[in-house]
Amino acid sequence: MEPLRNNESINGEEVKPDVVTPSIYEIKNFKELVPQLIAAIIVTSYNLLIGMSIAFSGILVPDIEKPNSEIHATFGESSWIASVNSLTMAVSLVFVGFFTDNIGRLNTVRLSIIPWATGWALIALASNTTMLLVGRMIIGFAMSCASPGSVYLTETLWPNARGVLLALNCVTSSLGVELMYLKGLFLSWRAIAWCCVLYSVICTGLTFLLYESPTWLIKKGKIKQARQSLEWLHKYQTSPTNTSHADIHLGILKQENNIRRETRKDRKTWNHRISQFLKPTAYKPTIILIGVFLIQNFSGVYVIIAYSVTFFENVGSTVDPLIASNLVSGMPVILSLINLYTIKRFKRKHILIASCVGASICLFISGIFTKLTHNGLKGFGWVPILFIFLYMAIVMLGLEPIPWILACELFPLEMRGILAAFCVSTTTCTMFVAIYSYRYLDIAFGSAGVQLFYGIVAICGSLFVHYFIPETKGKTLYEIENYFQQ
């Protein structure tokens, strides 16, 4: 939500931005935050499914590569099964961006129930690797349909609560990863797939307790529905004047929409549409985000999640790989809760730089001891697990959540849906390459070499963040948009 730039008349009274903005966004007690908290919890619950979808290959691949498995997969087939959901997510996001801008942020998220349930049911009923592969492809489409939830939250949450509540994305995705590996200790992969069908139904049902984004509704001229949405968001706030917070906020959003409309009178021409992509408010954040997501993916975070059991087998650890996977994916769930404090307390940029440096140190130490263990050093097989554990904790405090928060904040409203979809599409392409290439990199360079490579990427990432990423903490979306016009 952005503040009013010009004076707005509501019920015959002039609303001044410097007076109104602090009051409607001010949260005096926890009760006033409840509607936004409910919205954040419900929408980010889809990240449970996304986390489980990424981690599922860590349970599935070791099983189907066993010689006596009921469905046996080759090395190449396993690599595709582990990574193909990222590829289909990347392709389908192009269409999801269109749906996000035309049928609404929340309605697009609700549509994801169809591919979620279909993909997981197909995996549960699979009799061959083709069915597993197609099921994973469909799940990738479901992941893309759920992604507009972050756009919805960005437009719904107040500036002073936005960073903290968006960090729930990281908490829920981490929890999804841990739940997947925890279930792997007790359930077969088929039973896990059926559980995920049930989760998708519950998540979708909960979204009907929410209202669509008021920013999007006003953009589409649906003023009555926008007022209802704002009345729900402000339901526990009391106004010192005769004008309710919802009406004041509605006036602010209408004014902002009018300002944007004045700048796009010729928006229907192709030349104008192309020119929008060439504006610094569009191409600058896009380039920056593609860069930071490249760093995120090739620093190994999603590779370790997707291949956790296989990864720990390759480092030569004496600890059971499945138990090690639970340890590594479990503590970050707790540590990601610290994000709710750190993101509110510290600048995004500083957190991200510290996370990149810390991740690289952990990967370097883990890689060195992995090499020593493979060369015959005894009694130190626990060191790689310890430092991969620390690596995951540090990543979950910065390198994993911050890029996704920035992806919600940096794009201008006019093109937010399309640009966010394009950015996430590009990101999932690199995620596919990172996950798919891991097995081949491991063959070429060994587990130690792969970890050192990821560590080098992470340390380079700290320099990229320092020189190119702007600080967004405490800034409204309008202020961030203005930054890129400079």
**Which CATH number goes with the domain that contains 67?**
1.20.1250.20
Same domain, 231 and 344: no
Same domain, 236 and 98: no
At residue 14 the predicted structure's pLDDT band, cuts being 50, 70 and 90, is very low
Torsion of CA 452, 454, 458, 461, to 10 degrees: 120
Does 269 map to a domain?
Answer: no
Q: Name which residue leads in pLDDT, 134 or 425.
A: 134
Angle at Cα 144 formed by Cα 142 and Cα 172, nearest 5°?
A: 80
Per-residue confidence (pLDDT) for residue 271, from 0 to 100: 63
Lowest mean pLDDT among 70-74, 101-105, 132-136, 257-261: 257-261
At residue 421, does pLDDT exceed 90?
Answer: no
Decide: helix, strand or coil at residue 9: strand
Does 267 map to a domain?
Answer: no
At residue 11 the predicted structure's pLDDT band, cuts being 50, 70 and 90, is very low
At residue 2, does pLDDT exceed 50?
Answer: no
Same domain, 341 and 462: yes
Same domain, 196 and 52: yes
Does 186 map to a domain?
Answer: yes
Same domain, 103 and 71: yes
Same domain, 130 and 191: yes
At residue 21 the predicted structure's pLDDT band, cuts being 50, 70 and 90, is very low
> Quick check: pTM over 0.75?
no
At residue 407 the predicted structure's pLDDT band, cuts being 50, 70 and 90, is confident
Same domain, 356 and 244: no
CA 299 to chain centre: 16
- The number of domains in the chain is 2
Q: Which sign, positive or negative, has the C-alpha torsion 92, 97, 99, 104?
A: positive
Average pLDDT of span 460-479 = 82
Q: Which sign, positive or negative, has the C-alpha torsion 317, 321, 327, 329?
A: positive
At residue 453 the predicted structure's pLDDT band, cuts being 50, 70 and 90, is very high
pLDDT tens string 227-244: 888 888 877 767 666 667
Does 3 map to a domain?
Answer: no
Lowest mean pLDDT among 7-11, 103-107, 119-123, 141-145: 7-11
Nearest C-alpha neighbor of 435 from the set 298, 303, 299, 301 = 303
At residue 35, does pLDDT exceed 80?
Answer: yes
pLDDT tens string 142-161: 988 888 888 888 888 877 77
Same domain, 203 and 251: no
pLDDT tens string 284-304: 888 888 999 999 999 988 888
Same domain, 188 and 295: yes
Domain span holding position 26: 8-32+213-262
At residue 138 the predicted structure's pLDDT band, cuts being 50, 70 and 90, is very high
Per-residue confidence (pLDDT) for residue 146, from 0 to 100: 87
Residue 13 CA neighbour count, 13 Å, CB half: 12
Same domain, 61 and 18: no
At residue 245, does pLDDT exceed 80?
Answer: no
Per-residue confidence (pLDDT) for residue 264, from 0 to 100: 58
Separation between Cα atoms, residue 293 and residue 295, nearest integer Å: 5
Separation between Cα atoms, residue 38 and residue 228, nearest integer Å: 16
Alpha helix positions (H), 338-381: 339-345, 348-374
Per-residue confidence (pLDDT) for residue 18, from 0 to 100: 39
Domain boundary among 262, 296, 328: 262
Does 358 map to a domain?
Answer: yes
Calculate what percentage of the chain has a pLDDT beyond 70: 82
Average pLDDT of the chain?
80
Does 367 map to a domain?
Answer: yes
Average pLDDT of span 409-435 = 79
Q: Name which residue leads in pLDDT, 125 or 58.
A: 125
Separation between Cα atoms, residue 8 and residue 300, nearest integer Å: 49
| Alpha-carbon distances of 228 from 213, 219, 418, rounded to whole Å | 10, 15, 26
Does 38 map to a domain?
Answer: no
Does 247 map to a domain?
Answer: yes
Domain boundary among 262, 296, 331: 262
Q: Name which residue leads in pLDDT, 440 or 197.
A: 197
At residue 7 the predicted structure's pLDDT band, cuts being 50, 70 and 90, is very low
Same domain, 330 and 445: yes
Same domain, 318 and 438: yes
